[in-house]
């Protein structure tokens, strides 16, 4: 995981240095600035070494071509075997991007399996691309006749720019051929075909999830796991722990946070005991929020109320985990794939609308939850991985009928889950991994289950000097003021900030 900056036909090394220094939290292991002989390009890279830690420094140069990348290519070993091991100079997974490009294979970028954002330059061409869902960020700004790319908005702050664009998920830019969308989200299925074997579907889903977890644990460093005690992170942690145990390796390190006595801490401790993970927790207070809110908002690059609220416990979890590991698994994406939010209940009698809504929400994750996870984990130099957003798992989940994801609750489940059960098929597929009371635990938002919302009132009163109840308008105004105070060009940041948008498919 890394921070990157690329200047094409614009600027100089001093400008690149000013930009990359603002991203060094993304990669504290090494920072390098390089120009390509004979080409109008300067690349800067701050590295967090995960794969190929000894020789994977970037930018990577092969002949007259140069690459910088952020993320992980999980099928890099297979690609090495296909492309020919002799052409590789490093053990870095990122080098496969460069050789795929140089192979001139049709739709070469589609062969990359992982989470990534990269910029690649030749003497007369610049190419940039982003992974299917936008797990890894990439922005671009036009400066005169040139282009400037960077991993975060803050790298552009103070340059006097008028506009910045997000490189869309699943999209590639080529200075020779323009923009093209190389990945399209598969449309979700609505109803089951006659005779569908639900038990077999659940078993197959389990196998696909297990394969995704195994793939997303590949690293040359130890990988831990966030564990909130909710269904999604518990499933990922339980499978990861099983795989480590089968391989004869040390127990999975799991991490949870919350206020004293919060539901998340209690549930996470129970899950950790059940699966046998090496568990650690951090109990935070309103004083911790007072101290860290400005830090959260600066790194989040957003003043959106809901994003800030959920970013707070993410920060404490990332900080806790980084003391022991460089990378963690998370449960992000399960709600969007399997209908896990409370508002999905309105779609229980309309599987077609539910399938369309899940497809829509998957396509917006890069601007909300994935931005939160990336920015806040990287603020602590921690790589966050999202196995539920594996391409194979997305394809399988989207082919699964929506009516199996959200179902009218069985009579004996009503007391614990309400009249409608979200993520029904996911629960069924993984029911043996966890105690029944945990498998069917009612979902809580991360900021609620962790106790953040309650502690936030006290923190905001301290920060604003207002002793009364802080409503959402006042809360949002404080977040925006805090953001404005941290940036030279706050309007530019706010214009591109991640935010929740109510554009849901009608039920």
The tens digit of pLDDT for each residue in 127-145 reads 999 999 999 999 999 999 9
- Whether 189 is in a domain gets the answer no
pLDDT 10s digits, 242-296: 999 999 999 999 999 999 999 999 999 999 999 999 999 999 999 999 999 999 9
The answer to the question of residue 506 being in a domain is no
pLDDT digits (tens, 9 = 90+) for 302-340: 999 999 999 999 999 999 999 999 999 999 999 999 999
pLDDT tens digits along 407-419: 987 645 544 455 7
Local structure of residue 343 (DSSP, 8 states): G
Q: What is the average per-residue pLDDT within 500-506?
A: 85
Residue 266 has a pLDDT of 94
226-325-259 Cα angle (round to 5): 40
> How close are the terminal C-alpha atoms of the chain, in Å?
39
DSSP tally for the chain: helices H, then strands E: 19, 19
Question: Domain for residue 287, yes or no?
Answer: yes
Cβ(216)–Cβ(384) below 8 Å: no
Q: Read off the pLDDT of residues 182-217 as tens digits, 9 standing for 90 and up.
A: 999 999 999 999 999 999 999 999 999 999 999 999
Same domain, 465 and 407: yes
Whether 443 shows a pLDDT value over 70: the answer reads: no
Q: Which residues contact 188 (CB under 8 A, 6 or more apart)?
A: 354, 355, 356, 358, 359, 398, 402
Question: What is the rounded distance in angstroms from the CA atom of residue 309 to the CA atom of residue 315?
Answer: 11
- Interval 165-175 mean pLDDT: 97
pLDDT at position 442, please?
64
Closest CA to 280 of 247, 208, 328, 221: 328
Q: Is 93 annotated as a binding residue?
A: yes
User: Does residue 342 share a domain with residue 381?
Assistant: yes
Residue 349 predicted with pLDDT over 70 = yes
Catalytic residues, by residue number, are: 2
In which band, very low, low, confident or very high, does the pLDDT at 168 lie, cut at 50, 70 and 90?
A: very high
Q: For residues 401 and 121, give the distance between their C-alpha atoms in angstroms, rounded to a whole number.
A: 43
- pTM comes to 0.95
Structural domains of the chain, count: 2
Kindly report the backbone phi and psi dihedral angles of residue 295, in degrees, each rounded to the nearest multiple of 5, phi listed first. -65, -45
Q: Do the strands 223-226 and 327-329 form a parallel or antiparallel pair, or are they unpaired?
A: parallel
What CATH number has the domain bearing residue 163? 3.60.20.10
Share of the chain above pLDDT 70, in %: 96
Same domain, 55 and 82: yes
Domain co-membership, 163 together with 249: no
* Residue predicted with more confidence, 256 or 89: 256
Q: How far apart, in whole angstroms, are the C-alpha atoms of residue 9 and residue 392? A: 38
Report the pLDDT value the prediction gives residue 52, as an integer from 0 to 100.
Answer: 72
Last residue of a domain, one of 155, 181, 207: 181
pLDDT of the residue at 51: 78
Tell me: do 143 and 251 sit in the same domain: no
In a domain, 367, yes or no: yes
| Residue 383 and residue 273 in one domain | yes
363 & 214 share domain: yes
* Residue 186 included in any domain: no
**DSSP assignment string, 449-485:** HTTHHHHHHHHHHHHH---S---HHHHHHHHHHHHHH
Which CATH number fits the domain that encloses residue 300? 3.40.50.620
- Domain residues for the domain of 445 are 198-495
Domain shared by 202 and 164, yes or no:
no
Give the separation between CA 23 and CA 14, rounded to whole angstroms.
15
Max intra-chain CA distance, the chain? 71
Which of 150, 181, 212 is where one domain is finished? 181
* Last residue of one domain, picked from the residues 124, 155, 181: 181
136 shares its domain with 222:
no
448 pLDDT more than 90: no
Q: How confident is the model at residue 37 (pLDDT cuts 50, 70, 90)?
A: confident
Comparing 442 with 125, which gets the higher pLDDT? Answer: 125
Tell me: do 93 and 234 sit in the same domain.
no
358 part of a folded domain: yes
Residue 55 burial (10 A CB sphere; 0-12, 13-18, 19+):
exposed
Do 3 and 32 meet the contact criterion of CB atoms below 8 Å apart? no
For residues 67 and 170, membership in a common domain is answered with yes
Residue 191, domain member (yes or no): no
**Section 430-437 average pLDDT:** 92
Domain assignment present for residue 187? The answer is no
Query: Which residue, chain included where needed, has tokens 């109840």?
Result: 469
Chain-wide mean pLDDT for the chain? Answer: 94
Q: Please name the residue that has the structure tokens 């006749």.
A: 145
257 is in an annotated binding site: yes
169 and 318 together in one domain: no
């Amino acid at each position: 995981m890394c921070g990157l900056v690329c200047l094409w036909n614009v600027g100089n090394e001093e400008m690149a240095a000013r930009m990359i220094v603002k991203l060094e939290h993304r990669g504290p292991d090494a920072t390098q600035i390089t120009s390509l002989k004979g080409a109008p390009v300067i690349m800067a890279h701050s590295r967090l070494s995960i794969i190929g830690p000894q020789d994977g420094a970037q930018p990577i140069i092969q002949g007259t071509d140069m690459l910088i990348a952020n993320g992980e290519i999980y099928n890099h070993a297979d690609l090495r075997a296909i492309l020919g091991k002799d052409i590789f100079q490093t053990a870095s997974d990122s080098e496969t991007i460069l050789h795929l490009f140089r192979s001139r294979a049709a739709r070469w970028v589609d062969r990359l399996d992982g989470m990534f954002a990269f910029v690649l330059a030749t003497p007369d061409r610049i190419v940039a691309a982003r992974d299917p869902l936008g797990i890894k960020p990439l922005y671009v700004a036009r400066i005169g006749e040139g282009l400037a790319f960077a991993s975060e908005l803050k790298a552009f702050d103070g340059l006097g720019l008028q506009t910045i664009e997000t490189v869309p998920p699943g999209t590639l830019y080529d200075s020779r051929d323009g923009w093209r969308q190389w990945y399209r989200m598969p449309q979700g299925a609505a109803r089951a075909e006659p005779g569908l074997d639900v038990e077999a579907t659940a078993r197959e889903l389990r196998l696909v999830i297990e394969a995704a977890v195994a793939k997303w644990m590949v690293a040359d460093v130890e990988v831990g796991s966030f564990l909130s005690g909710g269904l999604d992170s518990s499933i990922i942690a339980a499978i990861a722990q099983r795989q480590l145990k089968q391989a004869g390796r040390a127990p999975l390190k799991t991490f949870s946070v919350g206020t004293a006595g919060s539901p998340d801490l209690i549930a996470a401790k129970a899950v950790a005991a059940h699966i046998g993970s090496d568990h650690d927790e951090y109990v935070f207070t309103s004083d911790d929020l007072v101290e860290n809110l400005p830090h959260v908002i600066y790194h989040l690059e957003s003043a959106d109320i809901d994003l800030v609220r959920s970013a707070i416990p993410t920060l404490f979890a990332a900080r806790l985990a980084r003391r022991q590991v460089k990378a963690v698994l998370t449960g992000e994406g399960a709600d969007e794939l399997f209908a896990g939010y409370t508002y999905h209940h309105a779609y229980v009698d309309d599987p077609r609308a539910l399938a369309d809504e899940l497809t829509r929400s998957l396509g917006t994750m890069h601007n909300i939850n994935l931005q939160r996870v990336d920015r806040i984990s990287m603020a602590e130099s921690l790589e966050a991985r999202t196995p539920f957003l594996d391409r194979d798992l997305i394809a399988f989940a989207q082919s699964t009928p929506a009516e199996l994801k959200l179902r009218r609750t069985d009579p004996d489940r009503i007391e614990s889950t309400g009249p409608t059960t979200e993520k029904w098929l996911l629960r069924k597929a993984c029911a043996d991994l966890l105690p029944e009371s945990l498998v069917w635990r009612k979902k809580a938002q991360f900021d609620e289950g962790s106790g953040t919302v309650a502690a936030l009132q006290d923190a905001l009163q301290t920060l604003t000097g207002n002793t009364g109840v802080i409503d959402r308008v006042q809360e949002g105004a404080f977040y925006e003021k805090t953001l404005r105070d941290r940036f030279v060009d706050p309007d530019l940041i706010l214009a591109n900030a991640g935010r929740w948008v109510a554009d849901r498919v009608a039920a």
